[in-house]
Amino acid sequence: MPPKSAPKKSKPRRRKFASPKLLLIWLAILILEGSGVAAVSAYWIFTPGQEAAPAAAQLAPTHFQLPEATPASAPTATATQAVIYLPTPTKTPTPLPPTLTPTAVATQPPSVASAPQPTDTPAPPQIQHVIIISIDGLRPDALFAAEAPYLDTLIAQGAYSPNAQTVSLSITLPSHASMLSGMLPEKHGIVWGMPYIGWPGMNGPTLFSVAHDAGLTTAMVFGKEKMNYLVLPNSVDQRFGADMHDSDIKEHALEIIQAGLPHVLFLHFPDTDRVGHASGWMSPNQLQAIAFVDNLIGEILAALESGGYLNTTLLIVTADHGGHGFNHGDDSPEDRTIPWLAVGPGVRVGVTLTRPINTYDTAATTLQALKLPIPPNWDGKPVLEIFK
């Protein structure tokens, strides 16, 4: 029996690859998928003698989708639109192109009337009102030491003297009488702090009687009852005078301003003096009282601005006396030296006054500003240095 021959090994069957045409189609699909256009991709499986596509279940885990491509394209387009279109609304509301205005001016024929003339310049506002603010007991160095931004601003905008003087009898009634009458105490007749039985009354005229006789309106607000002795008959149209505090003075002042600012208004703030007597001059409490009245003056300034009065109002801020320790009344520099400030139309700006100023010059300066005659028997002279 012939020996059996070894079985022949079967050659492995060679896979048939897709035709070049199918390969080109496959590459095209890959390229389209990279561009985000193709939606589905799969492996082609080649078996001997046949070509088949995978079942639908096999398509799910495909690795050829680019999940980041589609979301990324949306914000890119949005950002592009924002750059191009968002600025457009800011330009659309412009009513006229900027070139129209110069064109219109250029096409106007030259004329003598359109040429600037010196006479066409409007005249500066004239002083129609004067407000005198007296801060009772205020020393200039206390004003400098206190937090007083409104008064500091007024000093920067006006003409100021830190060395003005009150009368030698440096107490409230005689000092205010000289401030408002333009006369020394021996002339106006008030040489004491409180009236006595049989007192004949204050001698005039005062700045209020002169202004009232000239047909101007007048008003006074003061915080010490005894100052009613400074009011001559038929000289003050409106008067609020009683023992009040600074905040009460401010409220009455606002009432008067809002009803119509009179030509002459006197405001007296009493509390800086009262705190000086209670806590001492230059004490922290007194400096706080100055800061408080400064805020009240700020409210008054706001009311004047709201009413349209600032451009026609001369504002004079001063005091009746200073003080030292817990009192005042003698001839010392601490008691007699007072601040004196003027701000308003036609007043020089940022000027430190050098001429000697006394409290009775306040009345004369008020009448000068209102173009009223100054009584010949007055001791006070107008402080002309404040005017330009």
Residue recorded with tokens 């020996």? 3
Tokens standing for residue 25: 């189609």
Tokens standing for residue 101: 């205005």
Predicted pLDDT of residue 19 = 53
Domain range annotation of the chain: 20-59, 129-386
Predicted pLDDT of residue 89 = 35
Closest CA to 202 of 181, 220, 223: 181
In terms of CATH, what superfamily is 129-386? Alkaline Phosphatase, subunit A (3.40.720.10)
Residue 155, helix vs strand vs coil: helix
* Regions of the chain with pLDDT less than 70: 1-124
Task: Say whether pTM exceeds 0.85.
Answer: no
H/E element, 214? none
Helices (H) and strands (E) in the chain, counts: 14, 10
**Dihedral angle over CA of 51, 52, 53, 57, nearest 10:** -150
Predicted pLDDT of residue 200 = 79
- Each residue's pLDDT tens digit, 284-316: 999 999 999 999 999 999 999 999 999 999 999
Residue 60, helix vs strand vs coil: coil
Predicted pLDDT of residue 26 = 56
Spatial distance between the Cα atoms of 242 and 125, rounded to a whole number of angstroms: 35
Spatial distance between the Cα atoms of 331 and 77, rounded to a whole number of angstroms: 87
Predicted pLDDT of residue 68 = 40
Angle at the Cα of 216 (from 299 to 316), degrees rounded to 5? 40
Residue 295, helix vs strand vs coil: helix
Predicted pLDDT of residue 365 = 98
Task: Find the DSSP H helices in 224-314.
Answer: 246-259, 271-279, 284-306
